[in-house]
Structure 1
Amino acid sequence: MSQSTPMQRLEGAALWDGETFRGTTTISWENGNIVEVVEAGTADAAASEYSIIPGLVDTHVHLGGYAGEGKVDWVSWPLVTPSEERTLHIAANAQKAARAGVTTLRDLAGDRHQLAVSRAFEAGILEGPRVLVHGQVGMTAGHGDLFTPPHFPHREPVADSPDECRKLVRQWARAGAHGVKIYTSGGVLSMGDKVGWRNQTNEEISTTVDEAHALSMPVAAHTHSTEGVDIALAHGADSLEHGTGITSKHWPVLVERNIPVAPTLLINDAIADGRITISAEAQEKAQAVVKERDLNFDGAGAAGVRFVLGTDANGFMVAFGDQMEEVRLMAKMFEWTPERALVSATSDAADAVGLGDTVGKLQAGFGADFILIKGRPWENIEDLRTENIVAVVSRGRVVAGELPE
């Protein structure tokens, strides 16, 4: 259980609560939760140097990479590094994200290491953000399996029949995972596959989704192809990850079901443009993905497709701290107002991961996760930059900067 903390109060800052501007306020919090938000009115809000916004929620990250400052081979490092050491890096990556204003993260392809860190943060053993973990249910030679070289003896579990899928979902439930991740297409960074490859049969995917839902576990579906989107929607996936193959025919279904989509713009742009050192195979796949994505996403935001913040941050291609840049890219891509973009990274992203009554809004009873920042990002999205952060409060504790006296 987290240690008790005394009542704290921050006065005189303009506050945007995750949905709307509340004017100049006094926000009070105790033991990790907001106790009260008192509005002083909007008349003098323009004079405020600082603003308060909710901590960001990244619905798609991978915390298991190297957290140091030097460079390592991102493929081999997790394969040759002891489990105990990897766990420390996971915690460090999560804490790095929190210092950059991302106070809730969902790891999509975690395992016992991420789950251990999540529990340690939740119990207050270590200070850190909120971390949700999805275990992956994929096939041999699928996207999730092809991050491990073919002849390396130690591999993560896969499922190659409906019965194996059902069993693996149950194993993740027993381990305490918050959800599962499936694959309905190949991927960009996996080695040796094609983006359009089928990943598992309809029967396998149907069984996975059925068992996950029976155990109250949401299902996130990785997909880069139009066929993959069709499969994910047909079998009741709860979110789409990347969503490259979304076309206008999917818009009515996505809007009607209110299905969140994490577009992961920054990472695919960076790979396609060669801004990071990566294989020629991955760059070629990313270039094709970006070309199709830009065509398919045109008009999707205006149509009401529910895009939420999801970066695919892994510390190598997208840093734990690049989330604000992703939000600015989303605003441009979908032709959103600054406020709409900020909703996608706070209250709506929190709702997308099942924490809509816990974080993402600055209201009494919600978690005390917020950013004190220079500027007004709900009016000018260019103000949403890490260099403008004055302080970050996560679970009621200051984890970056300092609060004004």
Structure 2
Amino acid sequence: MPTTSLDRVALWDGEHALPAGRISWDGDRITEVVSEAPAETPRYAVIPGLIDTHVHLGGYAGPGREQWNSAWSLVTPDVERVFHIAAQAQRAMRAGVTTVRDLAGDALQLAVARVFEDGVQVGPRVRVHGQVGMTAGHGDLFTPPHYPHRAPTADSPDACRRLVREWARQGAHGIKIYASGGVLSMGDRVGWRNQTDDEIRATVDEAHALAMPVAAHSHDTVSARRALELGVDSIEHGTGLDASLWPIVLERDIPVAPTLLINDRLADGTIDVGDEARGKAQAVVEERDANFAGASAAGVRFVLGTDANGVMVAFGDQHEEVRLMARSFGWDAQRALASATSDAARAIGMADQIGRLAPGYGADFVVLDGRPWEDISHLDPARIVAVVSRGRVVFGSLPR
């Protein structure tokens, strides 16, 4: 790909705004970001590509929600599912979400990530965490009890270490654990303990020894405290992050993915998942709302993490999630944008590669008709003019 430039555009580089400037890139590397003195105020603006730190790519990607249900992934062959995974990731990319982290992926997501990385297919950057959970835990209870084909579980410290090593052998970028039960798992309770301290400690120790971060699903205060004290690197959902935990989160600079939109939709019935899950979601939202405003005011690092699966939260709804975070946390527009770009990159260990418009960084960015760092309502798929992912125009066309 030849060196390409965009001139006379406003720029927000992940931290600061340039009223007008030029961005140049050569393949998948930004080569220049400079300020210019424009003859007139530019109409278009460029921001870094969004980064969703918590997604699930393995769901049905075809038209019509009525064709999707929780059994779809159980009865669909892997050779077919991999196309849905790629389609979900590409849908995110075309909406300006140029990096996604799948929390509970497997060999299929890893295969898609490699295909995109090698340029065999055009796609976003995909990070994959393998799950280490217990029998009858949140990760296991998505599968009906008598169904014989189940994802691996680990029920002792040694089994946890072995499973971490197996994920490392497959090339996983990190590990996902479940410190509590969850909303959508069948017959589960959000306050149920998942795994012992010794099991979590072994998982974290082994993952860190193999340079893999650990993300912890948590929906109550007890599980969040256990996960933090045992050394996890991020908290997912974080419903129970009350004031007693804010000092720990702040001291360790732990990012939290709040997954606001999906829980709101489950709680208010926008997503019809049955009385059990809806009741759990309503309790989660009530506790979350009691904790999160204070947590944000205290300085807790909330980053973009939607739990998007393409059905309950679509790949493209990330813009709405960022706007909701801004409203919920009382953020200004720049703080909200940082949560989805530069700070999200830091949360997944890629702060030196993506999330910024700067020389040497990956060429992932979104061209918009608006100024989302001044007015967060301008962060809207309807305002996207073009998306560049890995240096390629993957949606729209560059303004001239």
TM-score range, shorter chain: over 0.9
1:110 aligns with 2:105: yes
Match of 1:13 among 9, 27, 36: 9
Shift of 1:74: 2.5
Q: Are the counterparts in 2 of residues 148 and 155 from structure 1 also a CA contact under 8 Å?
A: yes
Match of 1:65 among 59, 67, 74: 59
Match of 1:332 among 327, 342, 365: 327
Match of 2:373 among 378, 397, 402: 378
Shift of 1:279: 1.7
Give deviations 1:146-177, integer Å, cap 9, x for gaps. Answer: 11011111000000011100000000000000
Match of 2:30? 34
* Superposition pairs of residues 355-394 of structure 1, within 5 angstroms: 355-394=350-389
Shift of 1:298: 2.2
* Superposition pairs of residues 188-267 of structure 1, within 5 angstroms: 188-267=183-262
Give deviations 1:184-207, integer Å, cap 9, x for gaps. Answer: 100000000100000000000000
What SS does structure 1 have at the residue aligned with 2:85? helix
Look up the equivalent residue of 1:28 and give its one-letter code: S
Q: Are the counterparts in 2 of residues 24 and 44 from structure 1 also a CA contact under 8 Å?
A: no
1:44 and 1:352 map into 2 onto residues whose CA distance is 39
Alpha carbons of structure 1 residues 11 and 187: separation in structure 2 relative to 1, 3 Å: same
Look up the equivalent residue of 1:39 and give its one-letter code: S
1:134 aligns with 2:129: yes
What SS does structure 2 have at the residue aligned with 1:211? helix
Match of 1:286? 281
Moved over 3 A (4+): none
2:317 and 2:133 map into 1 onto residues whose CA distance is 28
Look up the equivalent residue of 2:240 and give its one-letter code: G
Alpha carbons of structure 1 residues 6 and 278: separation in structure 2 relative to 1, 3 Å: same
Shift of 1:44: 5.8
Match of 1:56? 50
Structure 2 length-normalised TM = 0.99
Alpha carbons of structure 1 residues 44 and 334: separation in structure 2 relative to 1, 3 Å: farther
What SS does structure 2 have at the residue aligned with 1:144? coil
More displaced stretch, 130-139 vs 71-80: 71-80
Match of 1:296 among 271, 291, 305: 291
Give deviations 1:259-304, integer Å, cap 9, x for gaps. Answer: 0000000000000000012121110000000000000112211110
Shift of 1:333: 0.9
Match of 2:92? 97
1:336 and 1:399 map into 2 onto residues whose CA distance is 30
Look up the equivalent residue of 1:66 and give its one-letter code: Y
What SS does structure 2 have at the residue aligned with 1:109? strand
2:395 and 2:17 map into 1 onto residues whose CA distance is 24
Look up the equivalent residue of 2:56 and give its one-letter code: H
Look up the equivalent residue of 1:21 and give its one-letter code: A
Give deviations 1:68-95, integer Å, cap 9, x for gaps. Answer: 1123233111000010110000000000
What SS does structure 2 have at the residue aligned with 1:135? strand
**Aligned alpha-carbon RMSD (Å):** 0.9
What SS does structure 1 have at the residue aligned with 2:182? coil
Look up the equivalent residue of 1:376 and give its one-letter code: R
- 5+ residue gaps, structure 2, are none
Structure 1 length-normalised TM = 0.97
Q: How many residues align?
A: 399
Match of 2:156 among 131, 136, 161: 161
Shift of 1:129: 0.2
1:303 and 1:209 map into 2 onto residues whose CA distance is 27
What SS does structure 2 have at the residue aligned with 1:366? coil
Shift of 1:309: 0.2
